[in-house]
Structure 1
């Protein structure tokens, strides 16, 4: 059977280069959403589940099929959500249907889902910091700085989404994040306390004010977009043997 080709809908540079936090050793990460031919969902090897994500390395590229991508957006997955909020100079390729999806980005968010997802991912970073112990090797210090920067970025991004309905992917003051990372890495006990306090403050901020987001994402709008994608990429010829 011939290989099934996915059509890119959005491809963008993500990670530290998009955040404005890249260092000379930072990898270039690319994330994308693409559409499989609609006919592919009627065969024996439908692009769903694990098969709905294509990953390659050197360079690092991850591409989610449109259906999986939208599902991840509806759960407020931070990594996926940021693709729809990138600075314009980070987009490598945008199909008209991808532009439609970007226009829908606010409709895909729900307050509690955003709170749980962003604080949940930030908590994962905190646990990584805690599990570093008291090792002060150069490699450990670099990883600790990175996890600390991600923690601060996640809580700031989550608060902005939850309270203002906007996701600032590129940070305003990169030096603040690098300084935060070094502070956490240089003193294990003090750094862990600072990271924990930062995480706790974000939770309190979200709990103290009403969210700018609706209670639930607009699943009808998401499904309508996905059906337009399926209709656009429908072919009557079928998959050739």
Structure 2
């Protein structure tokens, strides 16, 4: 596969990993350009669980990033030491990462995913030990998504590595035990998202379009 950019994401990247944590990898690849002209289009994603790795085709990744999908977007905001593959085209993508951002998409995605985690918290079975452990994980994701989304809204930067992982862990445990307390966190986030931020109303698609065309030109023939 023509992997253009790949790195370690998830709990390791956030600073939330513990001894038993899986190492999650995310990347993007370029399908041979000729493959887009047959009867069937090439696969847009490849996902494996041993190891845990997700690879998105370049165009799909761009669409996800233009919607400010938190998981996909973090690929171009990783600390340098977490990249395992970074080709010239991958570096070019990192250079245009701000062009994918927009205020409405950031609010909808980060706050939307955080709200999903809250719903999972409120519907779990507190008597089930496995459900309790999953609840703590959901709560940590809730806190992380709120913090990262607000930082992005107010600064224009995606902060993948959390400044205070222990605080996020502690709040996660608290909200897992008392889900109703998380409503105040979400209400405050909504109020802050309602205030003007630094992001544009719409993403600038031109850099992504130009980059994707360079990718297609570079992969006109199969490797």
Give the TM-score category using the shorter length.
over 0.9
Structure 1 CA distance for aligned equivalents of residues 214 and 3 of structure 2: 15
1:136 to 127, 138, 162: 127
Write out aligned runs for 1:89-168 (5 A): 89-133=81-125, 135-168=126-159
Structure 2 match to 1:219: 205
Q: Which runs of 4+ in 1 moved over 3 A?
A: none
Indicate yes or no: 2:33 matched with 1:20: no
Q: What TM-score comes out, normalization by structure 2 length?
A: 0.96
Larger radius of gyration: 1
What is the number of residues matched between the two proteins? 223
2:167 to 176, 181, 184: 176
Could you list the runs of 5+ residues in structure 1 that have no partner in the other structure?
Answer: 1-5
Q: List per-residue Cα deviations over 1:77-113 (Å, max 9, x = no partner).
A: 1100011111111111101001010111101111101
Indicate yes or no: 2:25 matched with 1:33: no
Structure 2 CA distance for aligned equivalents of residues 7 and 194 of structure 1: 46
1:43 Cα deviation after fit:
1.2
Q: SS in structure 2 opposite 1:234?
A: coil
Structure 2 match to 1:198: 185
2:38 to 43, 49, 56: 43
1:170 Cα deviation after fit:
0.6
Q: What TM-score comes out, normalization by structure 1 length?
A: 0.89
Structure 1 CA distance for aligned equivalents of residues 93 and 102 of structure 2: 16
Structure 1 match to 2:60: 68
